Structure 1
Amino acid sequence: MSNNPVDFNVLSTLREVMEAEYPALLQVFISDSINRVNDMTLLLRDPSFTAASTASLQRLGLMAHSFKGSTGNMGATHLSELCLQLEEQGRGMVTADDARIRRLVSEIKEEFCAVRKVFEDELQLCHASH
C-alpha cells in the first residue's frame, strides 16, 4: 500500500472543475470501483481461471485497463500503476504468471481500500462545508 494513495493536486483540480458535481463524482467512482474490484476477485475465484487461459487473461486485462483509466483520472496513481501491471499480465505483454496475477489483484484490493478512505474523507469534507 502506498503512503500517498491519491494525488491531492488532481483532486483539487477535479474539485474546481466539477464544482457542485464533485461529491457525485467521488460517489460514482467509489461504487464503480467496488464493482470492478469485486469482478476481478470473482474472476480469480472461478475454478477455470489460470494464467494459461487466454480468454480469462484477456478479460482480466480489459478489466485492469478500464480500471487503470478511471483511477488515473482520479489521481490514484499507485492504484493506476498496479492496474497497468495487471493489464500487462492479462494482455500478454509480459509472461503471465498465476501467482503474480493473484498478488496484483490482492495489492489492487488493498490500495483501493486506502484510496476509498481518502475519497470518503473528501465526501465528509464536502458535506460538512455545505
Structure 2
Amino acid sequence: MSNNPVDFNVLSTLRDVMEAEYPALLKVFISDSVNRVNDMTLLLRDPSFTAASLQRLGLMAHSFKGSTGNMGATHLSELCLQLEEQGRGSVAADDALIRLLVSEIKEEFCAVRKVFEDELQLCHASH
C-alpha cells in the first residue's frame, strides 16, 4: 500500500472544477470502484478461469486504470496498468503475480476509499 494513496493536487483541481458536483463525483467513484474490485475478485476466483478470462480481467484493469488516474489515485492506477499488461499478453502471464496484483488493487483501493470518504465528510461539514 502506498503512503500517499491520492494526489491531493488532483483532488483540489477536481474540487475547483466540479464545485457543487464534487461530492457526487466522489460517491460515484467509490460505488463504481467497489463494483469493479468485486468483479475482478470474482472473475479471478472462477474455477474455469481461462485465457479469455485473463483478457477480460485486463480490460477491467484498463478501464479502472483510467478512472483511478483521473481521480489522482496514482499508485492504484499503476497497479491496474500492471494487471492490464498481464491481461493483454504484453508480458508473459504469471498466475501468482496476477493474484498478487488483484490483492494489491483491493488493498490500495481501501486506502483510496478512506481518503475519498474523508473528503466527503469535509464536504458535508463545510456546507
Q: TM-score, normalised by structure 1?
A: 0.96
How many percent of aligned residue pairs carry the same amino acid?
A: 94
Query: What SS class does the counterpart of residue 126 from structure 1 fall into?
Result: helix
Structure 1 unaligned blocks of 5 or more:
none
d(CA) in 1 for partners of 2:28, 2:65: 16
d(CA) in 1 for partners of 2:51, 2:5: 28
d(CA) in 1 for partners of 2:36, 2:88: 17
Q: 2:65 aligns with which of 68, 73, 76?
A: 68
Structure 1 contact 41–105 (Cα < 8 Å) conserved: yes
Structure 2 unaligned blocks of 5 or more:
none
Question: Is residue 83 of structure 1 aligned with residue 80 of structure 2?
Answer: yes
d(CA) in 2 for partners of 1:9, 1:107: 24
Structure 1 contact 51–97 (Cα < 8 Å) conserved: no
Root mean square deviation, CA, Å: 1.0
Q: C-alpha displacement at 1:51, in angstroms?
A: 6.0
Q: C-alpha displacement at 1:112, in angstroms?
A: 0.1
In the TM superposition, structure 1's runs of 4+ consecutive aligned residues that sit over 6 Å from their partners are none
d(CA) in 2 for partners of 1:101, 1:92: 12
Q: C-alpha displacement at 1:31, in angstroms?
A: 0.2
- Spell out, residue by residue over 1:48-81, the C-alpha distance to the aligned partner (whole angstroms, 9 max, x if none): 11569xxx11100100000000000000000000
Structure 1 contact 83–108 (Cα < 8 Å) conserved: yes
Structure 1 contact 58–91 (Cα < 8 Å) conserved: yes
d(CA) in 2 for partners of 1:3, 1:49: 33
